[in-house]
Amino acid sequence: MAENIEQLYTQSQITERVKEMGAEICADFIPSKPLLAICVIKGAVLFYADLVKAIRDRDVRFGFVAASSYYSATGDRMLSTGTVNMKYSSVDDSEIVGADVLIVEDIIDTGRTLKALKEYFYEKGANMVKIATLLNKPDCRVVDIEPDYCGFSFYNNPYIIGYGLDNAQQYRNLDGVYKIK
């Protein structure tokens, strides 16, 4: 393992927190209605796999998307247009209409991607769209969006890797969350 990385959370700490998040989600969504859980690939894959198992006694439907947000330059600021570049989606429009959607993301930084994704699912006719993120950088936000469920928050913009998150496609398979020193 590289020497320039420092562990922030172990797999067992993550597992405990993800179980708590699953219980929070169960308490909020109607038990009798299927929940459409959307994994934002690639970074959220490991978190998603653990979180859906922690959402007990619910009919959880799976969906996978790869997305980035579009930006428009205004002066020296980059503003989200609220539209999303959906590079891949396994979800048919018919699955979204009337659905209770849970977007599962690895980390929220500026918030642009999740804001655009949330608007996308509402525009496609979702009944409700909530956001679960393992990690959050609240002081990096440039658009108005907050997660409904959050594992851990970080300040001063560390670069996080492991448990699905990469640095140039490396480190995704680490079984904990680390920061690059």
Q: Which is nearer to ligand 5GP, 22 or 111 (CB)?
A: 111
Q: Is 52 in the site for ligand 5GP (CB under 6 A)?
A: no
One-character DSSP codes across 37-56? EEEETTTTHHHHHHHHHHST
Catalytic residue among 57, 59, 93, 109: 109
Q: Is 165 in the site for ligand 5GP (CB under 6 A)?
A: yes
Q: DSSP 3-state assignment of 108?
A: strand
Give the whole-angstrom CA distance, residue 143 versus residue 65: 21
Q: List, in order, residues 6 or more apart from 116 with CB less than 8 Å away.
A: 67, 69, 70, 80, 81, 82, 83, 84
Active site residue 109: yes
Closer residue to ligand 5GP in complex, CB, 112/130 = 112
Question: How many residues bind to ligand 5GP according to rule CB under 6 A?
Answer: 16
Task: Pick between residue 58 and residue 117 the one whose CB is nearest to ligand 5GP.
Answer: 117
Select from 21, 99, 107, 132 the one that contacts ligand 5GP (CB under 6 A).
Answer: 107
DSSP 170: B
Buried b (16+ CB within 10 A) or exposed e, 44-54: bbbbbebbbeb
Q: Is 174 in the site for ligand 5GP (CB under 6 A)?
A: no
Which residue of 110, 124, 127, 128 would you call a contact of ligand 5GP, by CB under 6 A? 110
Q: Minimum CB separation from ligand 5GP for residue 77, in Å? A: 14
Would you count residue 118 as binding ligand 5GP (CB under 6 A)?
A: no
Per CB under 6 A, 37 contacts ligand 5GP: no
159 binds ligand 5GP (CB under 6 A): yes
Q: Which of 90, 139, 87, 133 is nearest to 114 (CA)?
A: 133
Residues tagged active-site = 109
